[in-house]
Amino acid sequence: MKIVIIGTINKDLILPFGGSSIQSFGGIYYSLSALTHFVDDHVTICPISFIGSDVYSNLLMLFKNFKNVDPDGLIRLEQKNHEVILEYLAPEERTEKALFNFPSIGWENIRKFSTADFFVINMITGWDLSLEAFQKLSRKNYSKMYLDVHFLVMGTDQYGKRFPHRPEDILEWLRGARFIQMNQREFGIINTEKLTESAFFERYLQPDQYLIITLAGEGADVIFRKNNMTRNKHFPAIRVDKIEDVTGCGDVFGVSFVWNYLQTNDVYKSIEFANLAAGAKCFLRGTNEMDKLLPKMKDVKDLILKS
């Protein structure tokens, strides 16, 4: 099995709400470093991202320690790597500033990977992948695509600071993958008519799609159609007493859902697994401690069973 992850690997500077600053790789590096701990030996993970020449060699060395990662989709650019400064104003509220932007990944960069078994597209910058390339991939693989909207609905000012922005072509993105993930804030930016989640699904999405709205400490909702009825199921979050760092929780949630769904074909079980993984990530700082993800998931699960 081959799983392709398309997006951007950032250099992150995280300024937590309390505590010391964190420097680590971010973006789809969270997705990779989570998924590599879940997969079986028969799975190959293929990240597709531009990489700055300043970190390219370092990343290749790091990936040698990752299980089953094929770095063939990493594209070296002669510039500094994309950097993001994340400043938390509250445990789950932050501002972001982006530096040294990359161009969009084009079809020529992903064509040879288009026969993979599943695709996770994570719009870390908002322009990671061109719409043309996304639509070509969708025509071949719609049912095997998971889109995390992320910063697709955020613009960038002249200083690199991000701000809410609803792109005119957002519906073309939303209809291009069977599984759509967005958080509550992103849903609010897209949902200018202030429809309920179910009404939004009925108006804008297709009957075979799944809309997953993550709600931070409140869990996640999944909206879908079954037996000609729109269903909305809520899954409570895993309660976390002390948050170390929530950066990357959504990225971990997405790949955890995908991996469990590929094993079980059960959306409900996959949301529960994703909530567990995202809850465990809250205890880990940046991507520097992602090697502790599985033990932390076990610790959290044991606490739930005891409560």
DSSP assignment of 50-113: EEETTTHHHHHHHHTTSTTB-GGGEEEESSPPPEEEEEEEETTEEEEEEES----B-HHHHGGG
Residue 241, pLDDT > 90, answer no
* Parent domain of 251: 2-306
User: With bands split at pLDDT 50, 70 and 90, how would you rate the model's confidence at 69?
Assistant: very high
pLDDT at 294 over 70: yes
Whole-number mean pLDDT of the chain? 94
DSSP 243-295: -S--TTHHHHHHHHHHHHHHHH--HHHHHHHHHHHHHHHTTS-TTTTGGGHHH
Instruction: Average the pLDDT over 19-44 and give the result.
Output: 93
Residues 138, 176: Cα–Cα separation, whole Å: 6
Contact residues for 296 (Cβ-Cβ < 8 A; gap 6+) = 280, 281, 283, 284
Please determine, for residue 306, whether its predicted confidence score (pLDDT) is greater than 80.
no
Distance of alpha carbon 80 from alpha carbon 55, whole angstroms: 8
Amino acid at residue number 174: L
Please state, for a pLDDT cut of 70, what percent of the chain lies above it. 99
Higher-pLDDT residue of 93, 305: 93
CATH number at residue 206: 3.40.1190.20
CA distances from 65 to 8, 10, 248 (A): 20, 19, 20
Contacts of 307 (CB under 8 A, 6+ apart): none
Would you tell me how many other CB atoms lie within 10 Å of the CB of residue 294? 14
For 66-80, 95-109, 239-253, 259-273, which range has the lowest pLDDT when averaged over its residues?
239-253
Number of domains composing the chain: 1
Nearest to 164 by CA among 186, 180, 181, 149: 186
Exposure string (b/e) for 4-18, b if CB count within 10 Å is 16 or more? bbbbbbbbbbbebee
pLDDT attached to residue 180: 98
Residue range 9-14: mean pLDDT, rounded? 94
Q: Name the residue with tokens 């599943």.
A: 118
Strand partners, 50: 75
Q: Output the pTM of the full model.
A: 0.95
Cβ atoms 188, 162 nearer than 8 A? no
Assess whether pLDDT exceeds 80 at residue 268.
Answer: yes
DSSP strand pairing (9-15 vs 22-27): antiparallel
Dist CA 238 CA 307 (whole Å): 12
Greater pLDDT, 64 or 134: 134
Q: How far apart are CA 188 and CA 60, in angstroms?
A: 38
pLDDT of residue 307: 63
Residue 152 confidence (pLDDT):
96
Please say if the pLDDT value at position 101 is more than 70.
yes
SS3 label, residue 139 = helix
pLDDT at 88 over 80: yes
